Structure 1
Amino acid sequence: MGLFRGLVSLLVLFLLQRSNTSLVRLNDNGYEDLVIAIDPGVPEDGKLIEQLKDMVTTASTYLFEATQKRLFFKNVSILIPKNWEGSPEYKRPKHESYEQADVRVAAPALPGRDEPYTRQFTECGEKAEYIHFTPDFVLGKKQNEYGPSGRLFVHEWAHLRWGVFDEYNEEKPFYNSTSKKIEATRCSTGITGKNRVYKCQGGSCTENLCKINSTTKLYGKDCQFFPNKVQTEKASIMFMQSIDSVLEFCNAENHNQEAPSLQNIKCNFRSTWEVISNSEDFKNTTPMAAPPPPPVFSLLRISERILCLVLDKSGSMSSSTRLDRMNQAAKYFLLQTVENGSWVGMVHFDSAASVKSELIQIKSDSEKNKLLGSLPTVALGGTSICSGITTAFQVIKKLNPQIDGSEIVLLTDGEDSTTGRCTDAVKQSGAIIHLIALGPDAEKAVIQMNSQVDGIRGLCYHECSKCFYSHCKIYSSSKYSIQ
């Protein structure tokens, strides 16, 4: 039983804890399921949502051109904090959470610094964690510093999605070129400008020529490169996307391999375009003949978790102590995993289903113990998984009439050949089904429901621990391997 307890703990954790993995997927050249989350600490402001929409819409067009008509943003979810006022157009999240958001809108990491950034501690060509924007940046208050927000978003997206790096270097802003000239670190060198010391004090500013340091043979630390306003060079987005003429990433023709840019340092002197064009996104797409449609936005408001346990107490559950194992998994979930504030109900089923607990909000151990007292003790009768799911929907509807985004934790041995009868209802509901299947005959139910319904997360457990993974990998959508 010790081995089983360990397996149950891992199964419940894998199934029910919220993932911090991005949901983004590429489908027909378009990025789907991009999640932008607003931090709960951000004051409510409807303009923020509209500006996010404008940013992504303009970014999609810019990205499409920059990737040679290959990639664009297809649909985007904006995750709104629970403490913001509700609206009829807001829906409940399904899989989306702040922790897995690709873009986070939150206060500056350092007070007073509204600098956009991508949390990137990965190697060249590897996806980063997330993009961070501040509310003032999204609202356009920092455009003089960073340029149009849509262009800046594409710059950060390249960090996040393709693992490329900046083509400037704040630590090494200048270098001595082979032509024996001091050059600004940039790509491409076709970007023209002047090197100046620019200082402002008391409302007046002065501009002076840069002085060369006798030791480094480079300009001093107070010297900066200021690009000319009018440019003809198209590269590069990873240097300064705010320049009007810049529409491309540096490629083999204009890549400046001499510069000590972060891109050269991190990517072994490969151009950004070489890294991007070797990504899976490019290998799986071809240029589009027509411009893409604008992104479709969904507004999701975080709210309390609504969840119903659906427990199999049919006669077959008496085999191999499956009923005890199921109750152990349910107990672990209630005591260790479910968050306070969540609404939890319970349904039992055999050949029919019955409500053992309407939705109650978990505030303390008192509510958890009440639910634990409703766990089944006897296994008798036939098996109707659809009856259990349908009854759970009825329980959920009393608090969430639309059902979407609510969750069902289904624990069953799956010995039911009629599960296909409710797959359409599950698919249309928008609910998330967590399926923990016990026993070798659970394969039928898992295959039937996993293959036909989006939103089902499945893991299985087989009596023989040695063949646990060999059975699970046949029909489970999970990639977890438990040794």
Structure 2
Amino acid sequence: MVLKILVLLFLLHVVRGSMVQLKNGGYEDIVIAINPELPEDPNIIRNIQDMVKEASSYLFNATKKRFFFKAVKIIIPLHWQTKFQNSSIKTESYDKADVIVANPFLKYGDDPYTLQYGGCGEKGRYIHFTPDFLLNDKLYNIYGSRGTKVFVHEWAHLRWGVFDEYNNDAPFYMSANAGTASVEATRCSASVTGKYRFSNCTRNICINRQCKYDDRTKLYEAGCKFVPDKIQNAPASIMYMQSLPSVSIFTTNTFIWACSGVACPNKCGSL
């Protein structure tokens, strides 16, 4: 499992789709492009290289040694003077890159995200990382490791067309485990432990308490949030909350979809 990373200069603008190929389990011709408007910072390039190297090993283990990253091209602006291995570009362009590094959009801030227009199983358009995400190590506490956590999570969105395994529109559901009904947070897997907390601030007064049960909805009150415990034993799932230290695998249905495209993931279950 050898990873090849090239650092190239912007020279041509060619309109084409993604050129990613899967050969013998290795993803090749992945293009990561840095927005030409960004000021030069060689640490962005170094951190991208480290991120991809970490992600390749993590993806390999998370998919039971089926997939890894084999060849990646990093496209840097022509005006950057950073001394890396450079060569002419004949088929790559920023507009058609698989991953872009650019200033944040107002909606997302520094949150990494994948632009997905289609339904389940349809590939995404691109992954977006901000310079701050790549440079600020303090964000580790929020997102987890760039390579072993975030990039693999976003790659599953981009390449396999799967979605996050939580639901902001329906954050809770009624579960009947061992014959006893209980309210559970929508998550994969259900073995992720945590607390149900309600927080609200009005002027200088903040309330932080345990959530109350709503007799009308038979769920928790509006505004209630599930806060996962920092110490976990649950290994799944990368598509739910990849920042948890214990998380290292996909759920079964995501894994099956990644390997064969047989069915879209719609149920929880660890590999």
1:56 partner letter: V
Indicate how the Cα distance of structure 1 residues 247 and 88 shifts in structure 2: closer, same or farther if over 3 A, else same. closer
Residue 220 of structure 1 deviates from its aligned partner by: 2.6
Distance 2:206 2:70 in 1: 45
Q: Secondary structure at the match of 1:164?
A: coil
Residues 302-345 of structure 1, C-alpha deviations (whole Å, 9 max, x = no match): xxxxxxxxxxxxxxxxxxxxxxxxxxxxxxxxxxxxxxxxxxxx
TM-score normalised according to structure 1 size = 0.48
Partner of 1:215: 216
Residue 175 of structure 1 deviates from its aligned partner by: 1.3
Given the alignment, which residue of 243, 261, 269 partners 1:279?
Answer: 261
Distance 1:67 1:91 in 2: 33
Distance 1:64 1:279 in 2: 18
2:15, 2:96 within 8 Å by CA — same for their partners in 1? yes
Partner of 1:22: 18
Q: Secondary structure at the match of 2:49?
A: helix
Kindly tell me the number of residue pairs found equivalent between the two proteins. Answer: 246
Query: Where in structure 2 are the equivalents of 1:167-182 lying within 5 Å?
Result: 167-179=165-177, 180-182=181-183
Indicate how the Cα distance of structure 1 residues 176 and 50 shifts in structure 2: closer, same or farther if over 3 A, else same. same
Partner of 2:190: 189
Residues 352-403 of structure 1, C-alpha deviations (whole Å, 9 max, x = no match): xxxxxxxxxxxxxxxxxxxxxxxxxxxxxxxxxxxxxxxxxxxxxxxxxxxx
Indicate how the Cα distance of structure 1 residues 105 and 273 shifts in structure 2: closer, same or farther if over 3 A, else same. same
Residue 219 of structure 1 deviates from its aligned partner by: 1.8
1:145 partner letter: I
Q: What's the % identity of the aligned pairs?
A: 51
Indicate how the Cα distance of structure 1 residues 54 and 85 shifts in structure 2: closer, same or farther if over 3 A, else same. same
Partner of 2:145: 148
The structure in which a higher percent of residues are strand is 2
Distance 1:106 1:53 in 2: 17
Residues 280-310 of structure 1, C-alpha deviations (whole Å, 9 max, x = no match): 9xxxxxxxxxxxxxxxxxxxxxxxxxxxxxx
Indicate how the Cα distance of structure 1 residues 235 and 43 shifts in structure 2: closer, same or farther if over 3 A, else same. same
Higher relative contact order (CA 8 A, sep 6+): 2
Residue 25 of structure 1 deviates from its aligned partner by: 0.8
Query: Where in structure 2 are the equivalents of 1:330-479 lying within 5 Å?
Result: none
Indicate how the Cα distance of structure 1 residues 111 and 243 shifts in structure 2: closer, same or farther if over 3 A, else same. closer
Given the alignment, which residue of 101, 108, 120 partners 1:105?
Answer: 101
1:116, 1:133 within 8 Å by CA — same for their partners in 2? yes
The structure in which a higher percent of residues are helix is 1
Residue 189 of structure 1 deviates from its aligned partner by: 0.6
Partner of 1:58: 54
Distance 1:111 1:129 in 2: 17
Residue 125 of structure 1 deviates from its aligned partner by: 1.5
Indicate how the Cα distance of structure 1 residues 211 and 124 shifts in structure 2: closer, same or farther if over 3 A, else same. same
Distance 1:201 1:245 in 2: 36
Residues 162-202 of structure 1, C-alpha deviations (whole Å, 9 max, x = no match): 11111011222111223421101101111111111245799
Distance 2:206 2:41 in 1: 36
RMSD: 2.4
Partner of 1:37: 33
Q: Secondary structure at the match of 2:54?
A: helix
Q: Secondary structure at the match of 2:72?
A: strand
Structure 1 unaligned runs (5+)?
Answer: 1-15, 252-270, 281-483
Residues 190-249 of structure 1, C-alpha deviations (whole Å, 9 max, x = no match): 111111124579999763101233432222332211111222221111001111111111
Residue 129 of structure 1 deviates from its aligned partner by: 0.9
Partner of 1:386: none
Partner of 2:267: none
Structure 2 unaligned runs (5+)?
Answer: 1-11, 263-271
1:105 partner letter: V
TM-score normalised according to structure 2 size = 0.83
Q: Secondary structure at the match of 2:88?
A: coil
Partner of 1:428: none
Distance 1:199 1:82 in 2: 48
1:23, 1:100 within 8 Å by CA — same for their partners in 2? no
The structure having more radius of gyration, on CA atoms, is 1
Distance 2:152 2:192 in 1: 19
Given the alignment, which residue of 67, 80, 83 partners 1:84?
Answer: 80
